[in-house]
Structure 1
Amino acid sequence: MRTAVVVGTGLIGTSAALALTARGITVHLEDADPDAARTAASLGAGITDEIEQPVDLAIVAVPPALVGRVLADCQRRGLARCYTDVASVKSGPRAEVAELGCDTTSYIGGHPMAGREQSGPLAARADLFEGRPWVLTPTADTSTETLNAALELVALCGAMPVVMDAVAHDRAVALVSHAPQLVSSLVAARLENADETAVRLAGQGVRDVTRIAASDPRMWVDILSANAAVVADVLEELAVDLNTAVGSLRSLAADGAQDRQKGTAGIEAVMRRGNQGQARIPGKHGAPPTRYETVVVAIGDQPGELGRLFKEAARAGVNVEDVAIDHSAGRRIGLVQLSVEPTAVHQLVTVLTERGWDVRD
């Protein structure tokens, strides 16, 4: 691949353009909003010059409901030899592409499983897709050339290709992406009119659960509209479990020992199911999940402290697998939670303590 065009310079499109440009690809940028394309170009994502001859690959980076029409227009103009999209839903766009009579031999659906709470070109990052799955949904008549072009795109962006059927993809993302987004928003909505004292007690748990609730509602309406029935099915199943959990909690609050025993069993059952489901989420580099142990260190809220802590861990020969920070509401300190291999805990604690760090039990 030497040339490409990105049609739609939002977060995903601009991030792909930045990744390709960094690898020496000449990337043309188009957007219905010329200011967005110019913004992406100013970030180094590519150029807004008119395309004089077909490029190697066109990346349609628009909402699912627009994929068919935009692809048809791109093919009518002869923009590229091969085409793909990055929409988060695949079945609807595929059907529309067929209805509009697009050339499906030169088109393959795609969906990089990456994103951020922010949207637009200014939120884009060249490394957004590194190590992330990138789903490809070829049709029966997708040409080998088109598949190879899409695979090269995935490789250039540092992602991992996953070939799936479009319908299976939509069911999968409903479960692991779309329904969790709504659940996060529903939990965060409980905080909207909550007492200020309650909100000030918020810790890392509620921050983790509500992080993606900061996402752009308009963008998510577009996504959910294209996969509404499947997401509704997932939430309906969740509602059954939620009602069961409510019933168990009511039993726990009852006076009778038998009711409390029933409630305890119900809550424990759902928690254990949660344990089992969470344990199935792939771990580092897609490997089976690993149980790490956490070392908690208090650090001052000042420049360079976190960097110094990581350097100390490196000197101790310990690899930090994950990190989280719980900020104190009343003091200028943070509790840094370093996730490390169980065998490394003693070494890390010993070194940090010797060097004067405030390691917490």
Structure 2
Amino acid sequence: MGNTSSGRRTGEQRPGVRRVVVVGTGLIGTSVALALRSRDVDVVLSDPDSASLRLACDLGAGRPLEESADPSPSVPADVAVIAAPPAVIPSVLRRAQDRGLAHVYTDVASVKASVLAEAERMGCDMATFVPGHPMGGREKQGPGAARADLFLGRSWALCPTGKADPQAVAAVAEIARLCGADPTVLDAGAHDRAVALVSHAPHVASSAVAARLVSGDGTALTLAGQGVRDVTRVAGGDPAMWAEILTHNAAPVAEVLHEMAADLAATADALRAAAGREADPSAEILAPVRDLLERGRSGHGRIPGKHGTVHRPDYTVIPVVIPDEPGTLGRLFAAAAEAGVNIEDVRIEHTPGLPLGVAQLYLLPDAVDTLSRALAADGWSVHPGV
């Protein structure tokens, strides 16, 4: 069978990843392809959706896989990346292995245990399959939203079984590094519990907040600021795709949501009890509210910062008023570079009804004065300390 021969090929010595087949040209698949192309990897693309495939090719993500009557390619790729929904990955994997499409196979689904179990049940070659999950994405979908830098500085989970060939694991780890990510090996069950906490349950929470806005009156929505936009950003994702993801990781997500619901219920009860009493914020009756807010702040502080650092530096924010014109951010960043200052992060606040916005520049404290003076001298409206 094809999967047996592909297992033998995995043991051969190869000089790194040179040729990759990406099966699926949605957001993630096309982003992987673009990242690999930027590193001069030969990328071949396959997708049953001809329009998606054509757009990905036009974007420079690769060239289309030549389908022929002979299902076996003359020269198998080093790695095949299956960028498909979780429910179809095992069947796509089995077909790819049977035709000898590549030496090594991986996927990019955000759930792992169910995919692995079904792949084993279908008789896939687990020696050549290294499940993967790049921790990068957008609320937008399709190849048109793809970016070559989508995974830059992100973690990329690898969840091989004990049957996986070490060279197969190394090849998929190289794919992650070529895309600018940091490969991390962990058990499939641990992965699914982790993403339930840091990705899947937060998406549900974001959707829950956004769902409240459906019945909100127009006046309330005109008052919406950046806070609610930040909280609800990921709620703009594809509902069908997320329903499938949540279904495949149902138990871990349900556990996190149950704990969140308990926190929210305790907070709501405390606020309801305090309503109309003119209670002091430090009153015992509001202890659940303070507790949730304090734990929330502590949890936020544990989120790894730039380059995955566990302890994030305390940045200082400089607001800079910017015109809503093409090239403005480019000029602003160029001015910072000219001053020898690195902008650690940036957020844009738009001014409704005006052709202006505010760029919130996040800097290390010792760079604030240098950049403030340089930008002011260059004519920018800088407001340090605001």
Which residue number in structure 1 is paired with residue 75 of structure 2?
53
1:13–1:61: 8 Å Cα contact kept in structure 2? yes
Deviation (angstroms), 1:356 = 4.0
- Greater shift in the superposed pair: 248-257 or 34-43: 248-257
Question: Aligned pair in 2 of structure 1 residues 312, 18: CA closer, same or farther (>3 Å)?
Answer: closer
Gaps of 5+ in 2: 1-16, 68-72
Which residue number in structure 2 is paired with residue 318 of structure 1?
341
Sequence identity (%):
52
Deviation (angstroms), 1:133 = 0.6
Distance 2:272 2:48 in 1: 54
Which residue number in structure 1 is paired with residue 168 of structure 2?
146
What SS class does the counterpart of residue 127 from structure 2 fall into? helix
Which residue number in structure 2 is paired with residue 81 of structure 1?
103
1:184–1:210: 8 Å Cα contact kept in structure 2? yes
Matched, 1:19 2:32: no
Distance 2:20 2:376 in 1: 53
2:341–2:367: 8 Å Cα contact kept in structure 1? yes
Q: RMSD across aligned C-alpha pairs, in angstroms?
A: 1.9
Aligned AA for 2:35?
A: A
Distance 1:75 1:124 in 2: 27
1:248–1:262: 8 Å Cα contact kept in structure 2? no
Which residue number in structure 1 is paired with residue 136 of structure 2?
114
Deviation (angstroms), 1:311 = 3.2
Which residue number in structure 2 is paired with residue 225 of structure 1?
247
Question: Aligned pair in 2 of structure 1 residues 12, 259: CA closer, same or farther (>3 Å)?
Answer: closer
Question: Aligned pair in 2 of structure 1 residues 52, 43: CA closer, same or farther (>3 Å)?
Answer: farther
| Paired residues for 1:166-185 under 5 Å | 166-185=188-207
Which residue number in structure 1 is paired with residue 270 of structure 2?
248
- Greater shift in the superposed pair: 120-129 or 137-146: 120-129
Distance 1:299 1:259 in 2: 38
1:184–1:213: 8 Å Cα contact kept in structure 2? yes
Distance 2:322 2:251 in 1: 47
Gaps of 5+ in 1: none
Distance 1:355 1:181 in 2: 42
What SS class does the counterpart of residue 192 from structure 1 fall into? helix
Question: Aligned pair in 2 of structure 1 residues 311, 39: CA closer, same or farther (>3 Å)?
Answer: closer
1:113–1:133: 8 Å Cα contact kept in structure 2? yes
Deviation (angstroms), 1:302 = 2.3
- TM-score, scaled to structure 2: 0.88
Deviation (angstroms), 1:34 = 2.6
2:86–2:111: 8 Å Cα contact kept in structure 1? yes
- Greater shift in the superposed pair: 221-230 or 13-22: 13-22
- TM-score, scaled to structure 1: 0.94
Distance 2:379 2:20 in 1: 53
Deviation (angstroms), 1:313 = 2.9
